[in-house]
Amino acid sequence: MTTAFNNAATTFSHGGHDHGTCVETALAAAAGICTKRGARLTPLRRRVLELIWRGHAPVGAYDLLRALAKKQPGAAPPTVYRALDFLLAHGLVHRIESLNAFVGCAHPQQVHGGQFLICSDCGAAAEVHDPRVDAAISRRAAELGFTVRHKTVEVQGLCAPCQDRLQEAGHGN
């Protein structure tokens, strides 16, 4: 994968990059993974993935349903949930539990627990993707005889652009 894509996906991107490339790369990666695994990336599943990738901020299932219904009247919640289950099962998206929302994965080729820095102001989520964090959690879990089911790390805070914006707003007063 191109470094430009990785940089865009692992930093907080507010426009300042060619997001079309992110979407194209993600869709191409998804198609490749599905072909390799003999899984079917149906037009609906692809469309849901594309909708999730409309930006780097996590998208809720209800928003997905609403966006989908524009082109596909009668799209029912179970349809969307089934598509999401498929995308999750193949590691193409991550579920952000604290926001009850979904975000595209920029590294779907490797199995990994999601690690995210989430901006509580603009809602953007940057995937950290550090294998050392995964390893540390697995090691500690093994020491405690703990069976890990989901390994998503969600860190809340403020992204740099939002800090700048809030600081400027503060100076204005």
| Positions that interact with Zn ion (CB under 5 A) | 8, 13, 19, 22, 105, 119, 121-122, 159, 162
Give me the least distance between CB of 76 and Zn ion, in Å please. 28
Give me the least distance between CB of 52 and Zn ion, in Å please. 12
Give me the least distance between CB of 150 and Zn ion, in Å please. 13
> Per-residue DSSP letters for 59-76?
EEHHHHHHHHHHHSTT--
Nearer to Zn ion, 45 or 90 (CB): 90
Task: Choose among 67, 1, 78, 65: nearest CA to 33.
Answer: 1
Task: Choose among 39, 8, 40: nearest CA to 104.
Answer: 8
Nearer to Zn ion, 35 or 163 (CB): 163
Radius of gyration, alpha carbons of the chain: 17
Nearer to Zn ion, 77 or 85 (CB): 85
Taking a C-beta distance cutoff of 8 angstroms, is the pair 65, 80 a contact? yes
Six-digit token string for 19: 């997001």
Nearer to Zn ion, 41 or 114 (CB): 114
Nearer to Zn ion, 87 or 159 (CB): 159
Residue 166 — φ and ψ, nearest 5°? -65, -35
Taking a C-beta distance cutoff of 8 angstroms, is the pair 90, 33 a contact? yes
Give me the least distance between CB of 55 and Zn ion, in Å please. 7
Give me the least distance between CB of 22 and Zn ion, in Å please. 3
Distance CA 125, CA 57 (A): 5
